[in-house]
Amino acid sequence: MPKEFMSYDHPIEIVENDVLIVSVVGSDGSYFMWQKGLTEEVGSDDGVYFEFNDQINGRHNQVTECTVTNNGIHVVLASGKSEQFNFPSQFDKYQELRAGLNKVYAEHGGIVEFSI
C-alpha cells in the first residue's frame, strides 16, 4: 500500500505505570509528548510534563497555550517561545488526540484549543 494511504500507527494515548502519556510523532522523527501522573506516587501533584524533539526540552508546566488544527499543533511555552508540530500526511487520529489532551489538561482549563 502506498505510504500516503497508510494509517497513522503510533499510539496517541497510553497509560504506563500510572502515568498517562499522550504523544504524536512526525515522519521526520520530531515529536510532542505530554505526561501526567495519575497517582501521588508518580507525581500527580507535579502538573503536566511536556517534551518536544529531545528529552533536554522536557519540563513540567511549561505549556501555556496549545492549539490543535488540521495541520498540526502549536504550543506557546512559559518561556515565551513557541513550538510547532506538523502532522504527517497520513495522520488520522484527531479524536484520539482530542480525548488524550483533554485528559492531560482536565484540571487546567483554557490551555488547549481545537480548531479542527
Structural domain boundaries of the chain?
3-115
pLDDT(5) > 50: no
Q: Say whether 19 sits in a helix, a strand or coil.
A: strand
Q: How much is the average pLDDT of 72-88?
A: 97
Contact (Cβ atoms closer than 8 angstroms) between residue 95 and residue 15: no
Note the pTM of the prediction, 2 decimals.
0.91
Select from 96, 114, 103, 70 the least CA-distant residue to 10.
96
Strand order in the sheet with 63-69: 82-86, 72-77, 63-69, 112-115
List pLDDT tens digits, range 19-78.
Answer: 999 999 998 999 999 999 999 999 999 999 999 999 999 999 999 999 999 999 999 999
